[in-house]
Structure 1
């Protein structure tokens, strides 16, 4: 299995980065994972701003040479892991800008007759490791699970990815947030995951 980890947080001394380190450590100890790539969107200087004009058209995004490296990473990966905080009930704008530009028509999906498109990323799986300041049940009870619905239904299912797992950790700024246990849980998962 080849695994691509996409990290979206600007601080390398943060809890988010500690989760990234546990994902990487567990993956390196997992004999099922043959290839591992990490894409740090902030370190990469990724530009999340969509640009369309007479020279750059939306319908051509799947061929844009600026994003070829990133399309190759997604194509190569069997499993894509996203590590990010939840801000205002959703992923950071940097990550959404990456998704807007990479999960494009004729690369991630193809329009066809009918209500839903053909997902072109079938067979891949996704894991989302996210942290938030608020309580663990806040997204479910207050936001009707908007974060998970956005990521799973509106994005991943749309492009053909049916296997989606969430680690959604709340109370991460609290001294009672059980950060060590949650970091260990993520490490154990990636050390053993088989597909």
Structure 2
């Protein structure tokens, strides 16, 4: 299968960087084609401009956006790896979604009815966050994230959410916990 990894963390040595490497190595070892889009390393411009918006209405996008859309077209499975900051996506990832998941590419409206255009592709989301699962559940943040990202972005655009990992207390994770997370990820990608 063709796997695209969209990764957003400024520190390659971070836990997110480690998890990205786990996915890449596991998929390569199992004969999959893998491409990685490291948004910070690419210095991806996350700012949705007026020109972007006007171009989207005409079916025109900038070359940097077209390149990303071509990667998405290529992929069977898209894996997003990023931390949760301030109960949401990092700004660079949100900007990537704003610019790349554009009208006419990722979704459209047919006679007023929204239609996702990325049907037939699976997605896996791997998130790390500092709070515990209990805190996230008590505050409703877990449900809010599934609503705003899973339903509001990925499913809205037609993607089939295969799994959404929330790895909690990531800033305090020990090697045993990280190994458990690694095993969960490998098991998912072995199915």
Do the two structures share a fold, i.e. TM-score over 0.5?
A: yes
- RMSD over aligned CA atoms reads 2.1
- Write out aligned runs for 1:56-67 (5 A): 56-60=54-58, 62-67=60-65
Deviations 1:112-131 (A, max 9, x none): 124x4121110001000110
From the superposition, tell whether residues 127 and 175 of structure 1 become closer, same or farther in structure 2 (CA, over 3 Å).
Answer: closer
Alpha-carbon distance in 1 for matches of 2:44, 2:62:
15
Alpha-carbon distance in 2 for matches of 1:39, 1:77:
12
SS, match of residue 87 in structure 2: coil
- Write out aligned runs for 1:39-188 (5 A): 39-53=37-51, 56-60=54-58, 62-114=60-112, 116-144=113-141, 145-175=143-173, 178-188=177-187
Query: Structure 2: 5+ residue runs without aligned partners?
Result: none
Between the two proteins, the alignment pairs up a number of residues equal to: 189
Alpha-carbon distance in 1 for matches of 2:95, 2:52:
21
From the superposition, tell whether residues 49 and 187 of structure 1 become closer, same or farther in structure 2 (CA, over 3 Å).
Answer: same
SS, match of residue 137 in structure 1: helix
Query: Structure 1: 5+ residue runs without aligned partners?
Result: none
Structure 2 length-normalised TM = 0.90
Aligned partner of 1:11 in structure 2 is: 11
Considering fraction of residues, name the structure with more helix. 2
How far does residue 166 in structure 1 lie from its aligned partner after superposition? 0.6
Structure 1 length-normalised TM = 0.88
How far does residue 175 in structure 1 lie from its aligned partner after superposition? 4.9
